[in-house]
Amino acid sequence: MAEVTKPLQRSFRLFSALLLLLGLFAPTTEALYLLRKRATVCNGRAELCDRRYGNTTFLTAHNSFAFSSNPLALARTQAVDIPSQLRIGARVLQGQAHMQNGQLRFCHTSCALFDGGTVLDYLRKVKTFLDANPYEVFTFIFTNPGQNSVPGVWKPIFDQAGITPMAELIDTNKRVIVFLDAGADGSAGGVVDFILPQFPMMWEDPFSPTDPNFPCKIDRTAGPLSNDDHLHLINHNLNRNIIPFGWGTVLVSDFIRAPQTNALSSIIAHANGCAPLSRGRAPNYVLLDYIDVGEGMKAVDRLNGF
């Protein structure tokens, strides 16, 4: 009987969390930002105080930890640090974590390519921002390729950083939502209520795109919900191959074309290309490299109807 009950419990947890994010448990008169009633500005806009999470578009910094002002740092994806990304308007930070010498660190593919420091130090920087901005709703989208234990590794780091995510969102006005691409379903040591499985709740179009037209298709997703009932993310971060003459493929973020990639017209065209796959909805997350370049925040405002 226990073997039957566990999958049912996981399915109920998944449905409950996604319905909460989409606002299906909230009366139509309530915002799913779930902020204190005295809030008059939410995520920088008064209009967003009455906007549900599932109907909101967020500026998303791809590999947010991989920042460098050095244009020769080929593994970088951002030119400005975490506090600067937050000041620009990013309310979703994405990153990939690896275990290195007993510490969970933010690195992409390998810490030898770019070491963004410990996950704990990173979260503490965000905690400083959250403490100073009590009416901001914030989301993390992290990848966990090493299947590091969710209750044994990830949860203690959030606890140490003093960040209590969505498990207490309504009752205690916590404003942080955490998605993990692998292991949050219980396959990495167990389930933690506030760390949500990404792909059963959110679909993405192809990652590491090299076509500046960003043709859209659903690339990564998972059941049991239909794709229509998922949040969705567009990977609007252009890459280029630095190996010439067809001798191989090494993709790096294309900083030179960032002004065109992050232009309003390019982002809106990408969102429109994905709209038929999402019942006409705008993307929830616009993932960009070099968010300090171009018109990323302007595009997000446009997608939010401003």
Active site residues: 62, 108
The three-state secondary structure class of 266 is helix
How many CB atoms neighbour CB 263 within 10 A? 18
143 forms bridges with which residues in the sheet?
96
The residues near 27 (Cβ < 8 Å, ≥ 6 apart) are: none
Sign of CA dihedral 196, 286, 136, 33: negative
Write down how long the chain is. 306
The residues near 83 (Cβ < 8 Å, ≥ 6 apart) are: 125, 128, 129
Quote the distance between the C-alpha of residue 252 and its chain's center: 20
45 forms bridges with which residues in the sheet?
42
